[in-house]
Amino acid sequence: MTNTILTKKLIRDSRTTKSSFVLPSDTNTHGTLFGGKLMSYIDDIAAIAASKHARSAVVTASADSIDFLSPIREGEVVSLEAYVSWTHNTSMEVFVKIFAENVISGKKKVCATSFLTFVALDEESIPTRVPEAMPETEEEKFVNDGGFERMKARKARRKHSQTLASEFGVFT
């Protein structure tokens, strides 16, 4: 692990947004956005937020959760907002909020939330330390406050996944 002098960084400095119309080619037979398409959007924007925080290359370590709360329909605008919500050594937790908006009526709703974890890499692809994420707003503080507990849950889930993988063995 690379040792560098780190500073704390404000969460707002990693905040990233993107929007896109939901087109017919983006939808399933129900006329709603494919879950896999949304998952791709989430991973992309989360990686951008993590890179902005670490100012380095990053890799996805886990997609901790994606909670689909409401469908996003064809013709709506899907908007994603991501920021680094919590950090630990070389890893960064990124929170993503997903909205749908009817641009004619202006009605918006939160349709999904997601947490992902990224690891910062140095020039030699070795994990490198990241600055501590500093919350300012009530939302940022609320999400940041749960970071340590979510990390413990991720570690337990990963250990369970490793056990499952060892039980399954290698398939040829």
Please write the tens of the pLDDT for every residue from 120-134.
999 999 999 999 999
Residues in a beta bridge with 108: 101
The CA distance from 150 to 49, in Å, is 19
SS3 93: strand
Helix 147-168 vs helix 138-145: crossing angle, to nearest 10: 40
Domain assignment of residue 1, yes or no: no
Residue 170 φ then ψ, to 5°? -100, 130
Domain assignment of residue 156, yes or no: yes
- Nearest-Å Rg of the Cα atoms of the chain is 18
Count the neighbouring beta carbons within 10 Å of the beta carbon of residue 163: 10
Q: Any residues with CB less than 8 A from the CB of 7 and at least 6 apart, and which?
A: 131
pLDDT in tens, the chain (172 residues): 444 556 899 999 999 999 999 999 999 999 999 999 999 999 999 999 999 999 999 999 999 999 999 999 999 999 999 999 999 999 999 999 999 999 999 999 999 999 999 999 999 999 999 999 999 999 999 999 999 999 999 999 989 988 888 888 766 5
Domain assignment of residue 2, yes or no: no
Report the sign of the C-alpha dihedral through residues 116, 38, 15, 146, in that order.
negative
The CA distance from 153 to 81, in Å, is 24
pLDDT at residue 31, rounded to an integer = 97
Domain assignment of residue 44, yes or no: yes
* CATH assignment at residue 37: 3.10.129.10
Domain total in the chain: 1
pLDDT at residue 125, rounded to an integer = 96
pLDDT at residue 172, rounded to an integer = 58
* Structural domain range at position 127: 9-168
Largest CA distance in the chain: 55
Domain assignment of residue 119, yes or no: yes
pLDDT at residue 161, rounded to an integer = 87
pLDDT at residue 167, rounded to an integer = 84
